[in-house]
Amino acid sequence: MENVDLKINVGELREINIDIEIYPENAGKVELPDSIYETDNLVLEAKPNENFKFLNWNINGNIVSEEKFLEIEASEDIKIKAIFKEIKEEIKGPEENQDDKNNDNTDKTNRNKKNRKNNKLEIKKVTKKESETKEIRVKEKVIYLKGYPDNTFKADNNITIAETLKIFSELLYDDIDIKDFNSKYKDIIKNEWYIESLHKLEKKGYLNSIFKEENININRNITRAEFVALASNFTKEALGTNTFKDINDDFWAKEEIDKFVGLDYINGYPDGEFKPEKEITRAEVSKILIKMLNINIDKNINNKYSDLEKSHWAYYEISNLSK
């Protein structure tokens, strides 16, 4: 993905980092003023490349504007995502009702007004108390990301369906009565360590659209699409879009993948694919959970794993999630 880092440091002004991400890569560009010296006011212009159109500006998983020009006031480091979409030839259907079209335009205008105030960006911060509460719960409950007895983490190893169910069942805050609950899956073994997690998530209805067959094959590795589909039950609503070459409009988990991309919880690969059937790794899970739960990254943390080098792309996420 294309990133533009803009550093402002004039006189006694504090240095500010503006990180602009173009999605998908090479879909367009963001025009920056020739010179920016002070005022903390910044006007961004999104210019789509040929065969692309601009969709929206996205910050912290929230769409803040659907206009090509975005004026912001930022007094701290910030990452802004400009989302574009490839223009494809559309098959025309029945003539659109003008009233419906007008209503769509009105909804779009109201949504833009709600997400910005006079085109000034407001950054919502997570309070220290909220962050600590989430972090404590993860550290106490997500035991399958804490490494192995031999002092290794095995970041590139995969994670099973059973382990994934355990993670997310522990993140359920409400009590779920699973007494006498009978699972639809025929291949599970009663009294196994994963059975309570399975029953809780199945009763909540989180598994039905993911594992549709009568056998869940619970000890196989979970795929990227399956993990995202399950994890999306634990995140806020968000609009997103993707142009992955291997995700069609009728793909069963497209909505959940769009949501996670919109929230910036997961990305595709440099070749333009999402690879939904690829088995997800422990490192990828660590990075997703850090973002989902808004856990603060401590870059001074000491690494306790013998097989985790500081050069690893998920070094800080793994270290902070399992500290």
User: Which has more pLDDT, 2 or 288?
Assistant: 288
Q: Above 50 in pLDDT, residue 205? A: yes
CA separation for the pair 273, 154 (Å, rounded):
25
So where are the chain's domains? 2-87, 128-321
pLDDT of residue 40: 53
For 301, residues 6+ apart whose C-beta sits below 8 A from its C-beta are 316, 319, 320, 323
Question: For the ranges 57-71, 150-164, 261-275, which has the lowest average pLDDT?
Answer: 57-71
Backbone angles phi, psi at 195, to 5 degrees: -65, -40
- For the stretch 110-115, contacts whose Cβ atoms lie closer than 8 Å and that sit 24 or more positions apart, written own/partner, are 111/63, 111/66, 112/65, 112/66, 112/67, 115/62, 115/63, 115/64, 115/65
* pTM value > 0.95: no
pLDDT-derived band at 112, boundaries 50, 70, 90: very low
Average pLDDT score over residue span 69-85 = 78
Q: Which helix (H) or strand (E) holds 83?
A: strand 78-86
The position carrying tokens 């020739």 is 34
The SS3 of residue 62 is strand
pLDDT at residue 219, as a whole number: 96
Q: Does residue 177 or residue 289 have the better pLDDT?
A: 289
Please give the average per-residue pLDDT across 114-138, as a whole number.
Answer: 40
| Band of pLDDT at residue 17, cut at 50, 70 and 90 | confident
User: Looking at the predicted structure, is the pLDDT value of residue 2 above 50?
Assistant: no
Lowest mean pLDDT: which of 78-87, 237-246, 300-309?
Answer: 237-246
pLDDT of residue 227: 97
CA distance 185 to 190: 11
DSSP state of 135: H
The whole-angstrom separation of Cα 96 and Cα 140 is: 54
Residue from 305, 311, 13 nearest 319 by CA: 305
Considering only residues 21 and 241, tell me which one the structure prediction assigns the higher pLDDT.
21
Cβ atoms within 10 Å, residue 321? 22
Q: Is the dihedral of CA 51, 70, 22, 318 positive or negative?
A: negative
- Contacts of 133-138 spanning 24+ positions with Cβ under 8 A: 134/293, 134/294, 134/295, 135/293, 135/295, 135/296, 137/170, 137/171, 137/293, 138/171, 138/289, 138/293, 138/295, 138/321
Please, what is the average pLDDT of the chain? 77
Q: What percent of the chain has pLDDT over 90?
A: 35
What is the rounded distance in angstroms from the CA atom of residue 121 to the CA atom of residue 96? 35
Place of tokens 């960006």: 121
Reported as type and span, the H/E element at residue 227 is: helix 224-231
**So what's the pLDDT on residue 160?**
95
Mean pLDDT of 207-214: 93
